[in-house]
A and B are shown apart, each in its own frame.
Chain A
């Protein structure tokens, strides 16, 4: 493998074209029923049984501060490894695995704002479009602190 290129699993959320390094991906699976977790952060959709492994599903739309998904649309699970566990990211549509040269990478410009700003590592300038790369570590970790928030009333 050439060391200056990386492979990305790509997907769409709303109008965003996002990618995660394939090394971090465990698998991509179809949407399946899940058990909701009352009191958890709103971005946590629920728990999935992935072949006996219990996986927490995070809705990227909520996580990235985007409008909610059309109720008829069925999201996909992008399962990423997280320490000893696995976490699933709910995305709208799954794309191809793309290989990109490191030279095409650039950090986000300062003008990018909103919740998404902190969760992006940067972007690859692909022909005709930008592939935004998610900061998985930060995203999973931040969920952490938010879930720990004692938001329980009375």
Chain B
């Protein structure tokens, strides 16, 4: 074959594949249209097929041409309304088109492929052909024995088309994952025709692919499953638990077959016979549990699911059920989990990584340019810089998005895991998912896969009780496992919630002592929350008996380590008899992180905000007396608990500040309270600047050996700043690292907690990166008013509110918001503050959240008393407003008119 030819063929392949993809969509539209065929669509399909036929003929791809011809004939009949459209017809066409796709993919061998099956199928529909008793036979007739033989005798085909094989494997894996979900769904909604059809089609695709690639055994398995599915579809067989079981076993069998194929093994090493027999048995209506037990991949007591399924079959064809099934189907598809829809391409992750690096650099360059603009007057330059700013931000977001994957990708396998595990343990567990579409950076998705799987298995194994125990406890027999994911403050929260037995804290306390993790008196002093944390200790297990699933005492510590590796945290809340909630917080991405920038000895350092707990500022008296010395080691009494202090200057061996210096009362001590593992310590720095989004850059290999640094970043003015590694600092500073120590610290901390007061704060933003908080105790109402309602009194903005005049105070004007948006909003968000008889409306940009925290901060003097202080709320440095003072600031008595 000449070069010119092969180029033509390549072009033909691309073109035809596009055409076939379109056809698929068009055919489904035809099917949906039912009897009222839209001739236009049929025409479009016909034209595409005609083109394929013509080109194939020209290129000497006779078999493809012949198949195209058969299809064309049928389509012609449809066009002329000689053939009435039916779902069966469309299915047949789709099968033929699928087959053609495979042939075109491997066009060079397409002339050796047998198309008679499809041609015959199509032929039946032609006008004049008998519409024979379609119902009794599967739509795709059994593959003829000769074909089976010929295909199994050419295992070389697999090697020859290794690209095709690889693609087949990838595609199949996706299809099988999808099928898992569909089957589980089907079990719940046995009346859903649509689901059966989807599963049937998927199985058929696998069968077709396997057949084409000469994987006879895989094909046989797929065929057996397909026959069973065909009967389900035709209604000659109704769904039962053994059937679903056998189909799930088929899915596993296919996976195994594919795995062997991936390893380069021959097809004949794979033995589908047991599963095929099982499928046949299920088709005959025999309970398979005893017979197929030996070969079944997931044997489970059928009784567990029998009840509800049978009940649902009785209420045949519930329309709502079908709708729900369709909905869930489309949901999983839009979740990016289904077979790749058109318009998607596969991209090398390495390329995305590179792109991300470049964008990081662009962000830095942008930051620098934006800084320059403040010094320049040139309006043209300024507006260009602003555009650059905007575009860069959008580009950064888009590139980040390319790396984002919905967490649903990880969750997709959980329904199956839970189902199998539950039936193995004789439990009933329903899994629910919220926030499936929550997106995370790909690297993080990879990293949390295993920890999450472990936690889910743990919840089913240890958390949820047996049906009998649940009944005895007055709970529904079916346990609930809820997975929930959502974004919060630049992080992703993942919760694994079960309504099971909860942790037996007494037992954990005991075990903790037995294992020597804590001493008896320590154990007695530990709070419930801290006791629960013990299960994350290495070598801890309370399982009464070791099961195959969990309870071997490895796992939870590994889970914790893995989550901390990606700067995440894990927390556990439990209530005996009511269930357990595990809460994981992880960053969205590791490349760009929020950080607190501090200055020390003239250099700036960035501290990742995940480690930040709070900021303490001591000035005047407090500065000279606040720091005490515990046998030479500086400490600070933070709410009654001794907080070890580390001077950054000392740590970095720049200057020695460990001895108290009496430089006068103007000295200010800034303590950044950090968390490293389970330790808290205060890092003393010269100045706390601001929080910023920073791009993390690794250090060159010459500096890799320094544990104090996590990397470096470039600040807005173009200088480089080092990123401190909080854990590294803590270790280098000699802070204890074993659990015993930390638990004592935790216990001590807990004692101090009692004296603290909880305060509810309303967190708002004023249109820039800063956050402000207002004590809700001072707020009377939240209102939204239209900008048109604003009137003026004495040159001030006021509105009429509850038949009084209420002055408006735009907080961003008071605090000199750096936001450049002078957009006139249509609607104002107002926080109403009442004092005596007067009300004041504070205008904020947006209400972010309401949080309850232990309020503790150092009073600041620099804002004219408008601030009560600064605290870290949800990992953001937040100024807490003094509304009383702010109201004084603007309030004049004349507004007190009733």
Contact = CB atoms under 8 A, between A and B. Distances in A.
A147 B702 contact: yes
Interface string A18-40: 00000000000000011111111
Contact of A35 (B361, B653, B705, B720): B720
Nearest to B648: A38
A87 B702 CA distance: 9
A78 interface: no
A56 B699 contact: yes
Nearest to B650: A154
Nearest to B362: A52
A41 to B, nearest CB: 7
B821 interface: no
B720 to A, nearest CB: 4
A49 interface: yes
A54 interface: yes
B265 to A, nearest CB: 38
Contacts of B603: 35-36
A82 to B, nearest CB: 7
Interface in B687-736: 697, 699-706, 708-709, 712, 714, 718-722, 732, 734
A152 B732 CA distance: 8
Contact of B703 (A34, A51, A56): A56
A83 B701 contact: yes
Contact of A38 (B652, B701, B714): B652
Contacts of A149: 705
A87 to B, nearest CB: 6
A102 B121 CA distance: 77
A38 B694 CA distance: 21
A87 B704 CA distance: 14
Contact of A53 (B361, B362, B702, B732): B361
A143 interface: yes
B359 to A, nearest CB: 10
A47 B653 contact: no
Contacts of B448: none
B648 to A, nearest CB: 9
B703 A38 contact: no
Interface of B: prevailing SS: mixed
Contact of A37 (B364, B365, B703): B703
Nearest to B711: A54
B702 A35 contact: no
B823 interface: no
Interface string A91-125: 00000000000000000000000000000000000
Interface in B32-70: none
Contact of A144 (B701, B708, B732): B701
A38 B708 CA distance: 10
Contact of A47 (B701, B706, B720, B734): B720
A48 interface: yes
A144 B653 contact: no
A33 B722 CA distance: 15
B702 A152 contact: no
Contact of B704 (A47, A144, A154): A144
A65 to B, nearest CB: 17
A52 B708 CA distance: 23
A37 B706 contact: yes
A82 B700 contact: yes
Contacts of A35: 603, 712, 719-722
B361 A52 contact: yes
B654 interface: yes
A20 B744 CA distance: 58
A16 interface: no
B874 to A, nearest CB: 30
Q: Chain B, interface size: which category?
A: 20 to 34
Contacts of A73: none
Contacts of B704: 144, 147-148
A4 interface: no
B654 A38 contact: yes
A9 to B, nearest CB: 20
B654 A54 contact: no
Contacts of B360: 52
A52 B720 contact: no
Given A39-B653, A54-B714, A34 B702 contact: no
B700 A87 contact: yes
A58 interface: yes
Interface string B738-766: 00000000000000000000000000000
B722 A147 contact: no
A144 B699 CA distance: 12
A44 B722 CA distance: 14
A114 to B, nearest CB: 21
A76 to B, nearest CB: 19
Interface in A48-83: 48-49, 51-56, 58, 82-83
A153 interface: yes
Contact of A148 (B697, B700, B705, B709): B705
A37 B720 CA distance: 10
Contact of B712 (A33, A54, A82, A140): A54
Residue with the greatest number of chain A CB neighbours at <10 A, chosen from B360, B697, B714, B720? B720
Contacts of B362: 52
Interface string B21-32: 000000000000
A54 B723 CA distance: 13
Interface string A116-154: 000000000000000000000000100111011100111
A39 B709 CA distance: 10
Interface in B284-343: none
Contacts of A15: none
B702 A56 contact: yes
Contacts of B705: 144-145, 147-149
Contacts of A34: 720
A147 B721 CA distance: 19
Contacts of A33: 719
Contacts of B734: 154
Nearest to B714: A49
Contacts of A38: 652-654, 708
A52 B706 contact: no
A48 to B, nearest CB: 7
Contact of B708 (A39, A49, A83): A39
A144 B712 contact: no
B654 to A, nearest CB: 6
A12 B712 CA distance: 30
A47 B720 CA distance: 6
Given A37-B706, A47-B720, A52 B712 contact: no
A134 B654 CA distance: 32
Contacts of B702: 40-41, 44, 56, 58, 87, 140, 143-144, 147
A20 to B, nearest CB: 17
A133 B706 CA distance: 30
A46 B700 CA distance: 11
Contact of A147 (B654, B697, B706): B706
Contacts of B365: 51-52
A49 B720 contact: yes
B202 to A, nearest CB: 43
A55 B722 CA distance: 12
Given A34-B720, A44-B703, A82-B701, A39 B652 contact: yes
Contacts of B712: 35, 47, 54
B700 A152 contact: no
A49 B732 contact: no
14 contacts: A36-B603, A38-B653, A38-B708, A40-B706, A46-B720, A48-B720, A52-B364, A54-B714, A82-B700, A144-B705, A147-B702, A147-B703, A149-B705, A152-B732
What 3 A-B pairs come out closest when comparing CB atoms?
Answer: A148-B705, A52-B361, A38-B652
Interface of B: 360-362, 364-365, 603, 652-654, 697, 699-706, 708-709, 712, 714, 718-722, 732, 734
Given A49-B714, A54-B712, A56-B699, 9 more contacts: A34-B720, A35-B722, A37-B706, A37-B722, A47-B722, A56-B700, A147-B702, A152-B653, A152-B732
